[in-house]
Amino acid sequence: MSDTLTIADRTFQSRLFLGTAGYPNRKIMLDALAASGTEMATASIRRVSLAGEEEGLVEVLDGRVHFLPNTAGCHTAKDALLTAELAREALDTNWIKLEIIGDRELLYPDVEELVHATALLVANAFVVLPYCN
């Protein structure tokens, strides 16, 4: 029996998604990704440099894991939609981890805005992975 996870057109052997924030340096982040066995890494589109000055996070992760941009830091469906569209254009992906913060201190999601944004994104051909409780 296979215990794979299939989302849209992709099949994953691991059900673990790992974030890319909070590591002291890139080497530790890459070691953690490798040790975990994850096939999916998330990163806030606000933290991804698109300037092309040095090797960016997208290039570092390329080929190691499926890169999943997220809308971390957004507080409204409108902001999340704009951020997702930016990620799609800049990173050539229609996959998005949808985060809409309702509580700044505890980072709990705003479920009403999340549902609204999900409907808008799905209507615009996104594969949406919402962060919710």
pLDDT tens figures, 3-46: 899 999 899 999 999 999 889 998 999 999 999 999 999 988 76
The angle at the Cα of 92, spanning 89 to 94, to the nearest 5 degrees, equals 90
Active-site residue list: 97
Q: Which domains does the chain have, with CATH numbers?
A: 5-130 (3.20.20.70)
Query: What are 7's strand-pairing partners?
Result: 10
Phi, psi torsion values for 91, nearest 5 degrees: -115, 0
Using DSSP bridges, classify how beta strands 10-12 and 5-7 pair: parallel, antiparallel or unpaired.
antiparallel
pLDDT bin (cut points 50, 70, 90) of residue 53 is low
Whole-angstrom distance, CA of residue 111 vs CA of residue 132: 7
Neighbours of 73 (CB within 10 A): 16
pTM attached to this predicted model: 0.85
